[in-house]
Chain A
Amino acid sequence: MKQFISFIKKEFYHILRDKRTMFILLGMPVVQIIIFGFALTNEVKNARIAILDQSNDAATHSIRAEIEASRYFEIKKYLHSYKEIEKAFQSGQISLVVVFPQRFEQDLLHFNKAQVQLIADASDPNVATTLTNYASAIINDYQNRITNNRKLPYTINTEMRMLYNPQLKGAYSFVPGVMAMVLMLVCTMMTAITIVREKETGTMEIMLVSPIKPLKIVVAKAVPYLLLSIINITSILLLSVFVLDVPIRGNLALLVFESILFTLTCLAFGLLISSSTASQQIAMFISLVGMFLPTVMLSGFMFPIENMPVPLRVVSNIVPAKWFYYIIKEVMIKGLGFAAVWKETLVLVGMLAFLLALSIKKFKIRLA
């Protein structure tokens, strides 16, 4: 036990003395949450638009008012002719133009039919789609309101409810994603690097000659990073609850348990990398390619797995982050209990056992 404690103490000296690395390890989750929360988002807020109202009547005025009132749009310009539309887009300030034709209200009242044209800047197709959807929704709302006053035969109203995330906030999906990414980075890469560094400097050899058991070395190496990860989990959860308003609907203890399980899986992976490589660069490269890229690409956090071709969908199953991401979403966002995620938890436990067994076996072979 004394051996173990002096070892852990030494590990903490390493971490605490390397201020830059420590700052990155503890600051990264905060920065990522803030970047994802406020900068990288699919939501469109206060898009600048222009209106070409050739009718200028009561109906167009109230639609305009509603558009202006929504938090998605900000009416930047009123245009007077079609010619100005092209210019407005070229100025780069406008991403959508709403065109009301002449006699809009008359058409609406007399023929029960009027047209609105939405012209969007599709050089960014995602934004264009989102904006036209928002604008159509506002116009549909208006239409529904006026048709309620009159009887129309056969109308089907679709009523939509967005469960678990009614405001369709991006934060709901990236908080679990960032958690997976950060834990992976801290645990896999840092454990791999720290063990390989000792091999490089020759201190590992000294320890292997000493009476301390290899297993103890490995566990003592992992403990500080486990603690760092718990700090990171806490800061991510606090930030997401208090800064991004993402609620924790499920059981907090279950959430923490699953996070620690994932952390251990990452540690085991880092260990495996460290026992198969001899240089820090290679260890870093393998952790990036073997863990970071799959985590970003194949966990479902950036790109939906359902849309991937079959081979990639199959491959995604061996990415621990995929299962973790799913579990966290179910527990944190949907508020489900252990009964809903036990299968996925079992997969993670299996991966952990496999990685651990493999890396311990490798470690022993190296000693023979």
Chain B
Amino acid sequence: MNNGIAIRAEQLTKRFGEFTAVDGISFEVKKGEIFGFLGANGAGKTTAMRMLCGLSLPTSGKATVAGFDVYKENEQIKRNIGYMSQKFSLYEDLTIKENIRFYAGIYGKSDSFIKTKTAMLLQHLHLEGEANKLVKSLPLGWKQKLAFSVAIFHEPEIVFLDEPTGGVDPVTRREFWSMIYKAAESGITVFVTTHYMDEAEYCNRVSIMVDGRIDALDTPEQLKKTFGAQSMDEVFLKLARKAVRSAD
């Protein structure tokens, strides 16, 4: 990866007909950084993220993810990223072990890798006894933590988290964030969208999207200083008030 840059976007734009969902955004995410990607509903966060994950082709602009071009090197990007969507995405009718095996399997990981890593992971999550239980029998907080572990199981360079803590209680959210920190410490770049402004404070740097553009990008401390605000909540409200587009 060149110069420790994990993600670079330049004038990245996506249009759906007349509608410009993402309007020429430019930013860089450093390797090992926790990058918060904020914005109201309909601001274009998900569309931007989908372009970076290779789910959607940009209309114009440039972007590289893990050093690979989003237009031409889609396959390499997919191999080097992990993704966790806002919807819970494990199979409820499969056991914990089977879910891990399946997701590791589609990343083409070897049996021995899967075996050792699964044992480590289960121990880490204190789920050794539950390995052969169906996922639907787990409480929601556990499911989310498991989903995150599965998203980084294949040791990607970057993990994209799309509102990962939606509907989770505060205690589990805190635990979840400590998992994110651990992942970042191990060198994984974390790109996370969220609604919770207290979570934005946990990020190294945050960008705030309004109407398809990035209106602010800095560390939480610096943003608060610039906008003369006490909390990220205030910063966000000041920016979001300018929005013309209505949230969907």
Contacts and interface: CB of A to CB of B under 8 A. Distances in A.
B85 A205 contact: yes
B105 interface: yes
A343 interface: no
A9 interface: yes
A67 to B, nearest CB: 61
A309 interface: no
B54 A207 contact: no
Interface in A96-144: none
A2 B105 CA distance: 7
A5 B105 contact: yes
Interface string B86-117: 11111101100010011111111000000000
B98 A201 contact: no
A202 B98 contact: no
A314 B39 CA distance: 55
B81 A201 contact: no
A6 B55 contact: no
Nearest to A2: B108
B87 A201 contact: yes
Contact of A13 (B94, B105, B107): B94
Contact of B93 (A2, A18, A367): A18
A338 interface: no
B91 A209 contact: no
A163 interface: no
Nearest to A10: B102
Contact of A203 (B53, B89, B108, B160): B89
Contacts of A208: 55
Contacts, number: 78
A7 B108 CA distance: 11
Contacts of B57: 368
B234 interface: no
B227 interface: no
A310 interface: no
Given A6-B102, A209-B78, A17 B93 contact: yes
A202 B94 CA distance: 15
Residue of B56, B89, B90, B101 ringed by the most chain A CB atoms within 10 A? B89
A201 B55 CA distance: 17
Contacts of B107: 3, 210-211
A203 B85 CA distance: 9
B93 A211 contact: no
B238 interface: no
Contact of B106 (A202, A205, A210): A210
Given A3-B106, A5-B105, A7-B105, A209 B81 contact: yes
A337 to B, nearest CB: 44
A7 B102 contact: yes
A13 to B, nearest CB: 5
B52 to A, nearest CB: 10
B15 interface: no
Contacts of B233: none
B185 interface: no
B55 A209 contact: yes
Nearest to A17: B93
B75 interface: yes
A209 B84 CA distance: 10
A2 B83 CA distance: 21
A6 B87 CA distance: 23
A241 interface: no
A24 interface: no
Nearest to B98: A13
B79 interface: yes
A6 B93 contact: no
A202 B87 contact: yes
Given A13-B93, A14-B91, A205-B85, A367 B106 contact: no
A339 interface: no
Contacts of B88: 201-202
Contacts of B84: 206
A202 B86 CA distance: 8
A202 B46 CA distance: 14
A159 to B, nearest CB: 63
Given A211-B106, A212-B106, A205 B89 contact: yes
B55 A10 contact: no
A14 B106 contact: no
Interface string A192-229: 00000000011101111111100000000000000000
A205 B101 CA distance: 18
17 contacts: A2-B108, A10-B91, A10-B94, A10-B98, A10-B102, A17-B93, A201-B88, A202-B86, A203-B91, A205-B55, A206-B84, A206-B89, A206-B103, A208-B55, A210-B107, A211-B79, A211-B106
Given A211-B107, A211-B108, 4 more contacts: A7-B102, A10-B94, A205-B83, A210-B78
